[in-house]
Structure 1
Amino acid sequence: MGFNMKQWRTLVRRMFRSGLSAEVPNDEVATPAGAFALRKDEDKDRLIGDRRPDNWVEAQTGYPDLPYAPRLQLVLIKKRHGSRLHSRDVKDYYYILRNLKARLAAQVIGPRIPLPWLDDLQNEELDKIEPGEWWDSSRLKCAGPSSSCPKVQRISVTMSGIMMRDTNAVTVGQALHRSILRAYHVMQQGTELLPSMPFPQTDMIIKRCLDRRLGTSRKSCCVTSSCGRAQIGPEPTGAMPCTRLRGSLCQRRRRREES
């Protein structure tokens, strides 16, 4: 299978030249399986992802988070690849990540790339050469002994960048990356959960709806299980009552009805 990775290679080279990317030291253990979205304008290509060390969502959940994060999305990947995707608002950025916790506060871990991608880095004309391989194809294809793996030295890179709101480019990048993951049987069709819940601060989100016509209260509970799939069921005992949801619509409606 042939995948066009020219834009990815070009972006990596530009970011190394500009100081926005660097190799992860060999004495540190990191297992990145990352992807990033980029602008289609070659003159303005940037990594989409701006890390912030003072992120309370990341501190609470233990997973990396990025700015402008109104929604949560999970993509489940086969266990043997040891990766899960925790991203916020796919309109802004998209990545798959697993790396050292010490680095999460300041950096984004990028993909494992072939070392030849960085040959003659200062020669900008080489940026436009077609790399001819997907960044992680050898890792996904190589299931046998190490002797059967391609003899291509690869490095893990850290990237920090600029948040850019080119939603169309990010959507295209996300669709492309997912298609590649499916083609290599890393991710199965239908394992994505579409963004649906704003800022879940716990594993449980309680929703209450008032049916004005029947004058009854309907309650539902959305529970995110350990595998990331949403389950619908009755409200559990001790759940957060509606009156504690600040400024909630149902609370205002109840007051109007009581008055």
Structure 2
Amino acid sequence: MTQTPTLSLNDGRNIPQLGFGTYQIDNDDAAEAVSTALDVGYKLVDTAAIYGNEEGVGEGLGSHRDIWLTTKIWNESQGYERAKAAFAKCLARLDRPVVDLVLIHWPCAENDKYVETWKAMIEMREAGTARSIGVSNFQPDHLKRLVDETGEVPALNQIELHPSFQQRDLRKLHDEMGIVTQSWSPLGQGNGLDNETIKAIAEETGQNAAAVIIRWHIQHGLAVIPKASSRDHIAANFEALRFELSDDQMARIDALDDKDGRIGPHPDEFC
């Protein structure tokens, strides 16, 4: 069994660096997909209330209690009391008394409720129903405001990050603040698989293109949660743990960065 590397969080816990993402996996298919991922060797599963598949994810996890489980509170559930109620529903759907990590899914700054949501999440952690707390899609001003108003630094910020959109400034801030960066859409929604540089490196290493990209994330110290539904793709992604990229190969992928490469919505404009 390939050993999954871990990253240290600022709360003293260690998170598996490679995980299994479940975005756009239907609830009816989630149990089988998660079960397959565990069989391949994944030690982290990522879901969210808005994905509509928490029941299936919980079913797929079954009796496993050694798998890191992350879920997220959706925009309409922000606010002190609403967040607590929404999180209780997440736990019920997952059929778990506790999750390893809960995130605020988007800052949704125009509603101005992310700070009070964060205060509720601090209490969730203190109550023992969420072992770690973090955020997703937060920009520098959002992160700084959380810390200024609560004194609590998020353990992790899950952001869009792939070779065509590398978010270097935000990653630098994360490093300065002690926040782990976790990449969503790490393959650029599959677009990176057809890139000529990626294909060349895949040929050089004898690896599949997805594994090459995931390996790039890992060697940069990023946590990464690729989504896949078929066993072949789930296993292909996991191959990233079995080889290393050279400094030259890393630099060639670094050179693919594009300031206009964002695929998903801008966090300042989405709510």
- TM-score by structure 2 length? 0.21
Which has the greater radius of gyration? 1
Structure 1 or 2: more helix by fraction:
2
Q: TM-score, normalised by structure 1?
A: 0.22
